[in-house]
Structure 1
Amino acid sequence: MRFFRKLRKDVLTNNKIGKYLAYAIGEIMLVVIGILIALAVNNFSNQKQKEQQTKRTAQNVLRQIALDTTEISNVFKNWGVVQEQLEIVLSKSNVTKSTTPCDYCPNLILNASLPNLGDDVIRLIEADDPVDSELGFRLREISKRYKGLVQAVLIFDKITTDALTENLKYLQNNKVWFANLISNERCDDECQEYFNSSSDFKNRSAYMDIVLYKAYSRELQDFKEKIRKEMVLLTELLEE
């Protein structure tokens, strides 16, 4: 005890407490600075890893967009053929009787090729949660466009499916030749008369033309043009 009392007395006497406090504060500051540097290095490393992940996501998004635009192009090719057939049917100014078989006519109101477009791009982007950068901003803009597309696809697919179902039910309940047409793909004289001369068939064809081959087609074409511009911008950012 006497030793410690003497030591304290010597420190106070020789005014060494100020030097001790300065040394202690210096040690604390060095520790704090070391911690801050370590945190900064760790944050920098995490940021770099996040940026690399966002680039990988952007590359995956580009690949998926390419698949989706190819799908839309293939659907447009199919629709182009159907639209030519519809023009023949709808261009008739009057309902006239014809004995010429119309092999494609039943498909105009009973069948439709719909695009297989999902939310893969949206899920890719949301799973990554892109960094706050120009690349991340571009990805979020693409996600918004895809969300609009998915909503449009759901609406138009339902409208089209409902129309096809209603057409099937109408023919099933009102035409004796329906079973033979569906099961054996045979269209007798009464069946041919309906598809060649019926105003009902023409009206149903016009509805499919408006909903599927005009409205839906415009929606997909608009999306395709905008998403191509996004692809160009995204590619340029990845090449920087």
Structure 2
Amino acid sequence: MIKFFRKIRQQLIAENRVSKYLLYAIGEIILVVIGILIALSINNWNEKQKDLAQEQLILKQLRAEYQSNLAQLDEKVLMREEGIEACHQLLSYIDNPEEVTSDKLYDALWHLVLDPTFDPIKNDIVGSEKIRLIRNQELVRILSNWSSDVYQVQELELEFQKIRTEFTAPCLTRLGIARNVNNRVWQEGYSPIEALEKDRNLNYKFTMGPTQKTVDLQAVLFDVELEGLVSWTISFFENTNLQSQTLRSRIKQMLEILDQEIAD
């Protein structure tokens, strides 16, 4: 092909046909430009296809991660709901101490020392070059705000952890019932709701000395510090669950967008 065009140029020059040579030269330039544009277009198309394929991988990764985050968040909300119910039962026992038995009391008190903390999967997409591959700007916005939204929940969880560690556990120890509470939970077998493997069940029995066998339940229920801690637990669990529902809405919105964007 190159030899063919060279032969035409040489023939036009030899015949001194300048005008036709110029037209030919312009046409040749146009053909070269068109060839370059076609090559660029093909290259751009190939790059775009690579980006689209990479975007699909990222979206599928996000969907798997946030499905796991949603399942974990629901577990922690359920833990707090059960804790709130147990705390209301404790307040009922405080108001009506004649209705309480040691087993009922210890079952309810166990919820005061649980630790329902949300620890979502973290990825490196936001703040990296990968974010540019996501075309849906609403999804980008939600992802960008995710860390801030999670912080609102985790901040409350950390405050409750301090109350549980610095006040609740010492209070149960001071009242002489920590051993009883733990024995009640573990003696019949217990699998935490947040356990990684739900079918694992731990059965353990504490040896009970005479001090634990003769606990004055009335004295426990009339302890003003314990009553205050029960009330604080309700407030923290309710507030944290309120924030968690907002976070849950964010995850659901994100998953809906991902389902629409993923080409299964």
TM-score range, shorter chain: 0.7 to 0.9
**Alpha-carbon separation, structure 2, partners of 1:194 and 1:68:** 42
| Cα shift at 1:151 | 1.6
For residues 163-174 of structure 1, what are the structure 2 equivalents within 5 Å?
163-167=163-167, 170-171=170-171
Relative distance call for 1:15 and 1:103 in structure 2 (3 A) is same
1:175 corresponds to: 174
The answer (yes or no) to whether the contact 1:51–1:131 under 8 Å persists in 2 is: yes
| Cα shift at 1:199 | 1.5
The answer (yes or no) to whether the contact 2:80–2:116 under 8 Å persists in 1 is: yes
1:62-115 per-residue CA deviation (whole Å, 9 max, x = no partner) reads: 222221111122223332322211111234674858873221354343332223
Identity, % of aligned positions: 17
1:143-170 per-residue CA deviation (whole Å, 9 max, x = no partner) reads: 1352233222431232122222221575
> What is the letter of the counterpart of residue 224 of structure 1?
R
Gaps of 5+ in 1: 1-10
| TM-score calculated relative to the size of structure 1 | 0.73
**Alpha-carbon separation, structure 1, partners of 2:125 and 2:62:** 10
**Alpha-carbon separation, structure 2, partners of 1:189 and 1:127:** 65
**Alpha-carbon separation, structure 2, partners of 1:180 and 1:223:** 37
**Alpha-carbon separation, structure 2, partners of 1:55 and 1:125:** 18
1:144 corresponds to: 144
| TM-score calculated relative to the size of structure 2 | 0.67
1:203 corresponds to: 228
1:228 corresponds to: 252
Relative distance call for 1:29 and 1:45 in structure 2 (3 A) is same
| Cα shift at 1:233 | 3.4
The answer (yes or no) to whether the contact 1:177–1:191 under 8 Å persists in 2 is: no
1:8 corresponds to: none
Match of 2:116 among 80, 90, 113: 113
> What is the letter of the counterpart of residue 123 of structure 1?
I
TM superposition outliers: structure 1 runs of 4+ over 6 Å: none
| Cα shift at 1:48 | 1.7
Q: Please state which structure has a larger fraction of its residues in helix.
A: 1
Relative distance call for 1:163 and 1:75 in structure 2 (3 A) is same
Q: SS of 1:166's equivalent?
A: helix
1:178-212 per-residue CA deviation (whole Å, 9 max, x = no partner) reads: 8866896965656745642212111112112111x
Aligned-residue Cα RMSD (Å) equals 3.6
